[in-house]
Amino acid sequence: MSKLIKCKSLNFKIYVEDTDFQGVVYHANYIKFFERARSEFLSDNKISQSELKKNDQAFVIKSVNIKYIAAAELGDNIYVESEVEKKSNARMIFNQKVINCDNEKEYAIGVVEVCFINLVTKKPQKFPDDLLLIFD
């Protein structure tokens, strides 16, 4: 089994733009919350997605599996908790949760499979060495 890395949690508040007309978080926005946390993981580890793109490289989502548990609401303070596991030199799995900061209530649990590809060939390629070092 490969190493499981706990990522830094990402905290933020739920605003009107995150909700539907009932004041609850629109279901697709949990995917955005997960994405923000994954992007922060890369930034925290000095991996620039803009620089990768200049080199015709990118992270792409292969699969997303979400279990909705409860609805976050307008004004809630939440955090995204993430753990990442390297599955190969071009694929990693993020286990992520959206949780209420005040009462630890879980809103959603997600498993996101991320692959690293060459944007020209659309084929998997080895992660940058900086990212591989994180998993050693």
Active site residue 20: yes
User: Per the residue annotation, which of 18, 20, 129, 136 is the catalytic one?
Assistant: 20
The SS3 assignment for 54 reads helix
**Catalytically annotated residues:** 20
